[in-house]
Amino acid sequence: MRRRRWGDRLLAVAVGTLSLWYAVRWLDIPTFVIAVAQSLVPVAGILLVAVTLAAGASKRRRTAAVGVVASVAALVGALPFVVPSGRADPGPDDLVVMASNLQFGGADPMALTGAVRVRGVDVLVLLEVTPSAVDRLRDAGLEDDLPYVVGHPRPGADGTLIRSRYPLTELPTPTFPGEVNLSQPVARVELPGSAVGAAPRSVLIRAVHPMPPTDPNLTFWRQSLDGLATWARSQPDGIPLVLAGDFNASADHPGYRQVADGLVDAHEAAGSGWVRTWPIGRRVIPPFVQIDHVLAKGLTVTGAGSEVIPGTDHALVWASWR
């Protein structure tokens, strides 16, 4: 009898703790602990459903009832990521955008160039691009596929490039509060017409790389997401917009959802499920969060995915757009 009472208490505590953990995704307070907890919200959701099932199987009805309510909320929240929405069939004129954080320029240049060729990438956003990484990528033949470029390589994590199969025009990058951080250039891509004699089409693309949510960058991190959301909403509706890169935030961070509001998250729209792009290659910690994204306005997603390449702790992400 005593053992059952302890089991009841442990299951009740587990359901309550996991329910609160899942609810933290709506808490918009930029602290390191909360940011980490929000990154792990999908883990909380999975554990919550498992504990609720255990409570039901052991006939602990009250605990199971509370768990069912919280589990339904978690499952409803996960549903948009597993059920495709607004996805079109792939076509020959699709625009393929890829983004890759090179982790201080260390990503394998041959693997990255190979991924670009396999996917038929038209626009590539590169984060944490160092001068030596540019040389290695040139030797790997990346410039043959994507000859146009804006942005600048720099030592450390600040270098950002946008490479393209089609001509690029670099545009001024306005600075909002919190954007005094990593390079996030803006460019207009001039696509060829979809029919013979048709006028060129333009797409606006911005590389995204705000500060990570770590001390002493927490305020800059949250403000930079605010600034990015403000900038995205200020863009005209007449030209499609793409945001791609390392957002240092997931769909369970309120700041990311603010940026994505009114835009299409490629992986969510494609029903890609629980995508995990970081951290890659750790011995103890498996990848658990998607902080690398491709968002768009004025385009329809036709496919999305991710791929691990050696030499970097981020999986690259790609999306194709009609």
Where a domain ends, among 82, 111, 131?
Answer: 82
The answer to whether the bond into 216 is cis (omega within 30° of 0) is yes
Output Rg (C-alpha) for the chain, integer angstroms.
Answer: 21
Q: Are residues 53 and 183 in the same domain?
A: no
Q: Are residues 41 and 150 in the same domain?
A: no
Q: How far apart are CA 24 and CA 46, in angstroms?
A: 15
Q: Are residues 167 and 225 in the same domain?
A: yes
Q: How far apart are CA 86 and CA 302, in angstroms?
A: 9
Predicted TM-score of the model (pTM): 0.93
Q: Are residues 99 and 77 in the same domain?
A: no
Where a domain ends, among 82, 112, 132?
Answer: 82
How many separate domains does the chain show? 2
Q: Are residues 140 and 280 in the same domain?
A: yes
What range does the domain containing 179 cover? 95-321
Q: How far apart are CA 102 and CA 160, in angstroms?
A: 10
Q: Is residue 45 part of a domain?
A: yes
Q: Is residue 108 part of a domain?
A: yes
Strand partners, 201: 191
Q: Are residues 174 and 234 in the same domain?
A: yes
Q: Are residues 204 and 297 in the same domain?
A: yes
Which tokens sit at 178?
Answer: 């919190």
What are the pLDDT digits (tens) for 185-236? 999 999 987 655 666 689 999 999 998 999 888 888 999 999 999 999 999 9
What's 123's domain CATH number?
Answer: 3.60.10.10
Q: How far apart are CA 12 and CA 14, in angstroms?
A: 5
Where a domain ends, among 58, 82, 106?
Answer: 82
What are the pLDDT digits (tens) for 27-80? 999 899 999 999 999 999 999 999 888 877 777 777 778 778 888 988 888 988
Q: Is residue 87 part of a domain?
A: no
Q: Is residue 53 part of a domain?
A: yes
What are the pLDDT digits (tens) for 252-286? 999 999 999 999 999 999 999 999 999 999 989 99
The answer to whether the bond into 310 is cis (omega within 30° of 0) is no
